[in-house]
């Protein structure tokens, strides 16, 4: 049986908030009987865009991670709800029944992703419905996917076997796999938000001026083992990414023609700009 899945590419998200606004446009002041009651104008973020800055000036980047309901196959909200107030459809979408869920604030607390919101006025928990009311009318994608201008969001309606192939081919990940909730939201390039980098610049002196060392070989060592190697760009910059936070001590080794090999020890706590390394 085909099921709905969502792929989010962190690298393509530019924090334009079109997904967030389209969700508001679809659900604020609109009741969809059987699916949801109207979303509050303020407070709720059914598509919640998280932001993270990595590194230090001038070697710095910013990543944005859209975070909706994960539509988990082992959803904690379903287990926490009483009277089948939260259920999973055959197509993989998790729905909070807007009538049965009244007063069940424990559903909000059950979600480890913080993706369920409490509507104080209506006295119910609410979240992303994957725009199931539109899909049931024949739409091929929810509003957030339709509104995304960069292709950062993709809705995939596929058999689990086909989805497994896509996950492997595109190196997709789920958010917090340790929760064991089996989400149907998958992330591409999640390392830009979840991992750390070590970056820096290499320079040398020539005729009294400082020059960028383009084409220098920079190697990264951990516990005396070389784990990565790269080459500096036109500006003498280099970057090693996908490193774990608080992963301890590393050694950078720089080799550049006409200059002595140079090594620099660094400690990685969070993404680090090692500065300009002068040969």
Q: Are residues 54 and 113 in the same domain?
A: yes
Q: Are residues 227 and 170 in the same domain?
A: no
Convert the pLDDT of each residue in 204-259 to its tens digit: 998 889 999 999 999 999 998 999 999 999 999 999 999 999 999 999 999 999 89
Q: Which two tokens stand for residue 92?
A: 């993989």
User: Which CATH number belongs to the domain containing residue 211 in this structure?
Assistant: 2.60.40.10
Convert the pLDDT of each residue in 11-58 to its tens digit: 999 999 999 999 999 999 999 999 999 999 999 999 999 999 999 999
Residue pointed to by tokens 């979600």: 111
**Structural domain harbouring 83:** 3-193
**C-alpha 58: how far from chain center:** 24
Q: Are residues 67 and 136 in the same domain?
A: yes
Q: Give the model's pLDDT for residue 233.
A: 97
Q: Are residues 159 and 246 in the same domain?
A: no
Q: Are residues 172 and 35 in the same domain?
A: yes
Q: Of 99, 88, 163, 85, which is closest to residue 129 (Cα–Cα)?
A: 88
* C-alpha to C-alpha distances, 223 to 133, 196, 239, 249, nearest whole angstrom: 55, 18, 19, 8
Report how many domains make up the chain: 2
User: Which CATH number belongs to the domain containing residue 187 in this structure?
Assistant: 3.30.70.20
Of 169, 193, 217, the residue at which a domain comes to its end is 193
Q: Are residues 186 and 209 in the same domain?
A: no
Q: Are residues 154 and 200 in the same domain?
A: no
pLDDT bucket at 140, cuts 50 / 70 / 90? very high
d(CA 75, CA 181): 6
Q: Are residues 222 and 139 in the same domain?
A: no
Q: Are residues 87 and 170 in the same domain?
A: yes
127 backbone dihedrals φ, ψ, rounded to 5°: -165, 180
Q: Give the model's pLDDT for residue 28.
A: 97
* DSSP H or E run through 132: helix 132-135
Of 142, 164, 193, the residue at which a domain comes to its end is 193
DSSP 3-state of 92: coil
């Amino acid at each position: 049986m085909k099921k709905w899945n969502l792929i989010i590419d962190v690298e393509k998200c530019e924090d334009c908030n079109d997904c967030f606004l389209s969700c508001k446009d679809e659900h604020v002041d609109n009741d969809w009987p059987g699916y949801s009651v109207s979303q509050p104008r303020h407070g709720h973020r059914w598509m919640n865009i998280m932001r993270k800055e990595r590194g230090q000036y001038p070697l710095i980047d910013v990543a944005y991670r859209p975070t909706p309901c994960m539509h988990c196959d082992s959803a904690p909200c379903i287990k926490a709800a009483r009277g089948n107030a939260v259920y999973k459809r055959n197509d993989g979408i998790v729905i909070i029944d807007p009538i049965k869920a009244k007063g069940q604030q424990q559903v909000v607390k059950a979600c480890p992703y913080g993706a369920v919101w409490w509507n104080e006025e209506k006295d119910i928990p609410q979240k992303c419905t994957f725009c199931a009311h539109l899909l049931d009318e024949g739409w091929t994608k929810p509003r957030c996917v339709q509104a995304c201008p960069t292709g950062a969001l993709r809705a995939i309606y596929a058999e689990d076997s086909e989805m497994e192939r896509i996950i492997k081919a595109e190196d997709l990940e789920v958010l917090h796999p340790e929760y064991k909730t089996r989400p149907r939201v998958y992330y591409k390039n999640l390392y830009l938000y979840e991992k750390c980098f070590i970056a820096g610049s290499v320079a040398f002196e020539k005729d009294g001026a400082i020059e960028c060392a383009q084409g220098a070989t920079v190697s990264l060592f951990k516990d005396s083992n070389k784990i990565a190697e790269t080459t500096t760009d036109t500006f003498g910059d280099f970057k090693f990414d996908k490193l774990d936070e608080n992963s301890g001590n590393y050694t950078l080794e720089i080799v550049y023609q006409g200059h002595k090999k140079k090594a620099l020890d660094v400690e990685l706590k969070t993404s680090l700009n090692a500065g300009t390394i002068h040969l």
